Amino acid sequence: MRKGQNPAKFVKDVARPERITVALLNYIPFLSGFYAETLDVLKVSLESMRKDAGLPFDLMVFDNGSCPEVRDFLVQEKEEGRIQYLILSEKNMGKGGAWNVMLTGAPGEIIAYTDSDVLFSPNWLKRSVEILETFPNVGMVTARPFRTPPEFYESTLKWARDNATLDEGQFIPWETFLEFNLSLGQTEEENKKVYAETRDWRITYRPAKSPQGERSDREPAEGAQSKGVVAFAGASHWQFTAYKSTLQQFLPFDMDKPMGQVRQLDKRMNDAGLLRLMVSDPLAMNMSNTLGYLRGELKDSGKVKSKKKKGFARRMLDLAPIKKALLAVYNKIFSWYYS
């Protein structure tokens, strides 16, 4: 039998979520080996995201079965008001499973998704939303220009040829191009050939003025009609900003592996005829699993170094049969503990 009245009945107002939800996916199963610095990487990512995004947002974090130290850190961030929505998954659901929860549950009209190893620059969110709100039929906007597979932005180029100013050329500076690709473990030498043989597609769009008195819920950014807004063709699943209503079209994701199938979103958006765009300057950077980028180690890591004579033990470890066997053991141990 109920005793008294629920005090919540007398609450007159409830908090409203921000229009934009930044949704971060995190997975740190332990703090050694490959993951030794990843908690520090996560902390840097969160700090850079909040520093000067250019627009207000609520932060949602989905933790995909991390170790206790990481979960404790995230709970503390939530208790101190730096995370508005925190979801702690008992097990690793994979990226697709996490996306099904995050992209459905985020309360904002706009969702800015990010992996947990992204370093943001000032106004990253403002610039992304400017493109999202100016161009029509946008699927996703990534806060950095880089060269992505052309088959994933064919629909973008088709639209741009008929509705905007489309230019082809070397618009991404070599240093910006190289910086990102080095973070993926590539070398400077191999990227010289790629840079010389590929091009960028720059799109300048000046939206037509709406009829007087007519107002759209997705009005172009201020000044877009006069000077136009510039974006590059391409985008990526590691960081993007999109309308939640658009993302709903592609849910649920059924991925049978934790990684490696995330380009499903890139392909589906292109197949649906949606625009996949990037801002014109680097406002997001992949740190990967270390803080080496901030320590200035990235440039040196990508150079082809002169070969030094290796010791006997090192040469033995590099022998193909031994290397294959040891890596197989490592993968098996990882699977036992964290699958």
Cα 222 to Cα 130, 132, 204, 206, 228, distances in angstroms: 9, 13, 15, 11, 10
In the chain, what percentage of residues exceed pLDDT 90?
65
| pLDDT at residue 19, as a whole number | 98
Task: Say what the pLDDT of residue 215 is.
Answer: 40
Q: What is the mean pLDDT of residues 291-319?
A: 66
Question: What's residue 217's pLDDT?
Answer: 47
Contact 80, 50 (CB under 8 A): no
**Mean pLDDT, residues 326-331 taken together:** 72
Under 8 Å between Cβ of 225 and 216: no
Predicted pLDDT of residue 299: 58
pLDDT, tens only, 116-147: 999 999 999 999 999 999 999 999 999 999 99
3-class SS of residue 59: strand
pLDDT beyond 50 at 79: yes
pLDDT of residue 219 exceeding 90: no
For the record, the structure tokens of 91 come out as 């097990």
* pTM of the shown model: 0.84
How many Å apart are CA 289 and CA 183, to the nearest integer?
Answer: 10
pLDDT at 214 over 50: no
Q: What is the CATH number of domain 17-299?
A: 3.90.550.10
**pLDDT at 332 exceeding the cut of 80:** no
- DSSP assignment of 122-159 equals TTHHHHHHHHHHHSSSEEEEESS-----GGGSHHHHHH
Least confident among 30-34, 133-137, 164-168 = 30-34
Helix-helix angle 68-79:38-51, to 10 degrees: 20
pLDDT bracket for residue 257 (50, 70, 90):
low
Q: Decide if pLDDT at 160 tops 70.
A: yes
Helix orientation angle between 154-163 and 263-271, rounded to the nearest 10 degrees: 40
Is the pLDDT confidence value at 86 over 50?
A: yes
| DSSP codes, 171-237 | -S-HHHHHHHHHTTT--HHHHHHHHHH--EEEEEE-PPPPPTT---TTPPPTTHHHH-EEEEE--BT
What pLDDT score was predicted for residue 254?
76
